[in-house]
Amino acid sequence: MPAYRPSDFDFALPPELVAQTPSPERGASRLLHVDGGALADLAFTDLPPLLAAGDLVVFNDTRVIKSRLHAAKPTGGAVELLLERVLGPQEGLFQLRASHPPRAGGSIDLPGGVRATVIGRDDRFFRLSIDGPQSLPDYLDRHGEVPLPPYITRRPDAADETRYQTVYARHAGAVAAPTAGLHFDDAMLAALRAAGIDFAWVTLHVGAGTFAPMQGDDLAAHRMHSERYRIPPETAAAVAAARERGGRVVAVGTTTLRALESAADEQGKLAPGEAETALFVTPGFAFRVVDRLLTNFHLPKSTLLVLVSAFAGFDRIRGAYAHAIARKYRFFSYGDAMLLERAGAPPGLR
């Protein structure tokens, strides 16, 4: 196994291929099927025939909260806050951008006449407490902004409140969307069910750290941010049943894959319940649960690009990305999708 470095996962992307808006309809995106060395240019609506009755598709049902705030210091300096996670009824962990970040005990003036106090700092995150009658989640729902990723250069509009959210989102807590799921609409879900495809659910609340680049040039030195996930007992049972009948486990998104693989023992049996994961999937990782991965295209030098390279093969992903760029696929959160076959999977699982 080669000793990969973060620089090995870099690539040049024309700026015009970064999708700034969603497609007119959820299912109108393109789908690149990467099956070994073969590449097939498809539409996302071509997905059902690529699956088989008895397969299990696993979704992340987290719900994105309005987690970005534009605030100010008492002196008037601008402050931008992005929630990482809710810590309590009125406390949260935030990324904070300001010319001179406030110290512990300092205050920040929030929209709606509410003040936040800086309790402390943990590395790049600030722990804040809001002073008001509302809980932090309720306050954010009223005054927060949809947290579009940094590579989307426009301000969010009303349409983003719906489109930067999966149609099956249920459990609020994410500050970034599990974007592979954005392609699914009710018609696609119905078509998959009609084809005999089973569904299961995990919840992983995506944190703002998902956009953090790898530092330095030593892959082994990178430390992942921690995210909370939940595996329902029904999902653990559904994975075991799919395995028993010879069906394939298809993860919708890297967040779903990380939750499933984090909860699996060496035999691939899932432990239901809630836990934290800081799993960094790199080449050589032994996948125990997921056979196929539906995902979007990822940022250069990102941990997610490392993950898909580990899953499908480094050379295959490099070739697939070069192909996608040449054929002008749309990239990142509002972009197109890929269906990846796991490198080294037995022929019966392909």
To which residue do tokens 């539409």 refer? 43
Strand partners, 126: 94, 121
Q: Which of 338, 328, 336, 322 is nearest to 15 (CA)?
A: 328
Q: Identify each DSSP E strand in the chain by its residue range.
A: 30-35, 38-43, 56-60, 62-64, 68-72, 78-88, 91-97, 107-110, 114-122, 125-131, 171-174, 198-204, 227-231, 249-252, 273-277, 292-296, 337-341
Quick one: the chain helix, strand, coil %, rounded to 5?
30, 30, 45
Phi first, then psi: give them for residue 140, nearest 5 degrees: -65, -40
pTM for this predicted structure = 0.94
The one-digit pLDDT tens for each residue of the chain (350 residues) are 678 999 999 999 999 999 999 999 999 999 999 998 899 999 999 999 999 999 999 999 999 999 999 999 998 999 999 998 899 999 999 999 999 888 899 999 999 999 999 999 987 899 999 997 789 999 999 999 999 999 999 999 999 999 999 999 999 999 999 999 999 999 999 999 999 999 999 999 998 777 777 877 888 888 888 899 999 999 999 999 999 999 999 999 999 999 999 999 999 999 999 999 999 999 999 999 999 999 999 999 999 999 999 999 999 999 999 999 999 999 999 999 999 999 987 544 44
* Domains, in order of start, for the chain: 6-64+160-349 (3.40.1780.10), 68-143 (2.40.10.240)
The encoded tokens of residue 183 equal 């392609």
How many angstroms from the chain centroid is the CA of residue 320? 20
Alpha-helical runs (H) found in 172-291 = 186-194, 233-245, 254-262
Contact 209, 228 (CB under 8 A): no
